[in-house]
Amino acid sequence: MIVTFTGMRATAAPLSWGQSIVYDALLRRTADEDYNYNLTRVVPVPAGCTSDDVATAVAALVRRHDSLHTIFPGRTQEVIAAGELEIRVGHADTASAVEKLAAEPFDPAHDWGIRATLVCFNGQPREIVLGLSHLAVDAWAAGMLTAELRRLLRRPDVRLPAAWQPADQARHEQSEAGIRRSERGLEYLRSVAGGAAPTGPLENVPSLRHGELRSQVAEVAAARLAERCRTSDSTVYLAAFAHQQAKIADTDTCFLKTVAYNRTTDNERGCVAPFALDAFVSVSVAGPDGFAGLVKRSWAASMRAYQHAQCDPAAARELVETAGVNPPVMFNDARSPVRPSPPRQPTGTTFRWLPDFRPPGLRCYLAIADDRDGQTLSLLADHRADVVRDFLYRMEELLMRAA
């Protein structure tokens, strides 16, 4: 099915800070770092909806959000007023459609930020699979799109409020208020970078290793520690990660990057675009009160980092590179904000190896993700296989002992 668009808004603007982070990551890809950053989402089609109904709903989504009909010819975003979107119709299983859209790269200079496949069964639409460019969305924005598409499929006549657009955000960041906010963030970064150890060369190993630990035991322990320390389980995991990373690096301070949510206003929370920025966290691992003390210091350090993350990412990168402390270590809690409570009776731990990839500029990347009825810790690192596996198991052991 081909959906034709005319008369949409057309404008041009510089890249927003969030777009700039993704754009630069895409530019830094090499043959060894071919990670396309695509996001996929699956939306069930209500009974009674026809293929034309689905096409109408997807078209309304594209018209509403500029990022879905924007191209990036260089360091500029150009919102396109007219064009076509193909909604592919497939009769295979949904998993195959997701896999294909996840693997199909976008050409930022020519491709809009959305692709779609309608999965049918016995001629009836069952699910619509969205393939989304990371230049168009982050995980938060992808969640907004799926929620809106569900509403549009149930009620085609629903009226949605006007949305703040990426070009609006980019112009705000270039305004006097945006420049002042960026300067405050850079001043904070100078203060923490000054106390960080210089970044050494990447470890000379044959390849990266990517291991995943599925541990309900760690999940329960982190939840108990979060309640005891009156903080989030994400902070507990950050503390455990900083502890293990500092042990490997033989240092008392872990200087790392994490992901800043970066949506501080109602306009930003309603904007479909990438907003996440790097937050630079300096955690003192050595200190009083055992692991509980480390959790509290991790919370304080991460809050300072998040409060000062809203700054020009190019200027931030230049600052840490000039200082020789650009951290090749990253922590990313990619779980959904809404998730089930930890199990009362945790089951055993499982470990498996995942396909390797190389995020630009990183040698140690820990991600926490939702996985069916539980969650996983995955570590991609420039270490030997036994070091990667032991790192995750020792994080689990540290959490269990502390809880």
Residue type, 164: W
Sketch the domain layout of the chain as residue ranges: 2-169, 202-402
Name the CATH superfamily housing domain 2-169.
Chloramphenicol acetyltransferase-like domain (3.30.559.10)
> Both tokens of residue 357?
């990839």
Per-residue pLDDT, 373:
67
CB 320 within 8 A of CB 327: yes
Q: Using one digit for the tens of pLDDT, what is the confidence trace for 310-325? A: 999 999 999 998 988 8
Q: Using one digit for the tens of pLDDT, what is the confidence trace for 198-223? A: 876 554 445 688 999 999 999 999 99
Q: Point out which residues pair with 115 in neighbouring strands.
A: 131
Residue 32 pLDDT > 70? no
Residue 131 pLDDT > 70? yes
> Both tokens of residue 184?
């405050």
Q: What residues have CB less than 8 Å from 193, skipping those under 6 apart?
A: 255, 280, 319, 320, 323, 325
Q: Using one digit for the tens of pLDDT, what is the confidence trace for 341-391? A: 777 777 889 999 998 777 777 889 999 988 766 789 999 998 888 999 999
Instruction: Compute the radius of gyration of the chain from its Cα atoms.
Output: 22
| Fold matches, 2-169 and 202-402 | yes
Top-confidence residue, 263 or 357: 263
Query: Distance of alpha carbon 184 from its chain centroid, rounded?
Result: 24
Query: What CATH number has the domain spanning 202-402?
Result: 3.30.559.30
Using the CB atoms, write b or e for 165-195: b if 16+ within 10 Å. bbbbbbebbbeeebeebbeebbebbeebbee
What are the CB-based long-range contacts (under 8 Å, 24+) for 317-324?
A: 317/24, 319/186, 319/189, 319/190, 319/193, 320/189, 320/193, 320/280, 323/193, 323/194, 323/196, 324/198, 324/199
Q: Using one digit for the tens of pLDDT, what is the confidence trace for 148-166? A: 999 999 988 877 778 899 9
What DSSP state is assigned to residue 367? E
φ, ψ (nearest 5 deg) of residue 195:
-100, 5
